[in-house]
Amino acid sequence: MNTTDQNRLLTYYKSALNEFGDHDARSVHWSDKRGQELRFLILSQIANLNGQSVLDVGCGLGDLINFFKKNALSVDYTGIDIVPDFIERAREFHPNARFETMNIETTTEQFDYVLASGAMSFKVENNKEFYFGIIKKMFELSKKGLAFNMLNCEIHVDDETYAAYDPNEVADFCKTLSPNVQIILGYLPQDFTIYMYK
């Protein structure tokens, strides 16, 4: 991600955090809590995550931890985000969890599962090439599997802010990395989720 796009992204999320506060799904640019939790549910169904190490890419305020606790899932959790304000708040809210201000591109540690919710929705230069590279990197960091969601271009607008994708095109790319790829549709009209297994 170039410097201009990174500064745009930081401003985009810091503005939302300042407007909506620490305990609102809109602070991380989800439209509402229900949609956020439904996406978490779909991601978490990639496998039985109990006892597994999980990397949450673009973790925001650490809301995925709340989802895990609510659903009695005990995971070895690590959250990373490039927005320092999110990581600072997440550490305050979840003092027993691990959070790092970190770019996925510089991450080397491996985890059983890598999850990413909404982490590839912000439009950047050459977004398809860039985010396909991120998918490859996340899959490399996973020991067992990767689950991520994206916006569906058949329904969601693709503009200067949002990057939307053809689910089949994304799945075809993922199949160049893994023979075991699944597309999950139908849980929200504008979304799709991909599961990739090692």
Inter-residue contact 191 to 148 (CB < 8 Å)? no
Reply yes or no on whether the pLDDT at 60 is more than 80: yes
Reply yes or no on whether the pLDDT at 31 is more than 80: no
Mean pLDDT of 122-143: 94
Task: Please give the share of the chain, as a percent, with pLDDT higher than 70.
Answer: 85
Residue 183: the pLDDT is 98
Residue 20: the pLDDT is 52
Reply yes or no on whether the pLDDT at 12 is more than 50: yes
pTM: 0.88
Domain ranges of the chain: 3-197
Residue 125: the pLDDT is 84
Range 3-197: architecture per CATH: 3-Layer(aba) Sandwich (3.40)
3-state SS record for 13-30: HHHHHHHHCCCCHHHHCC
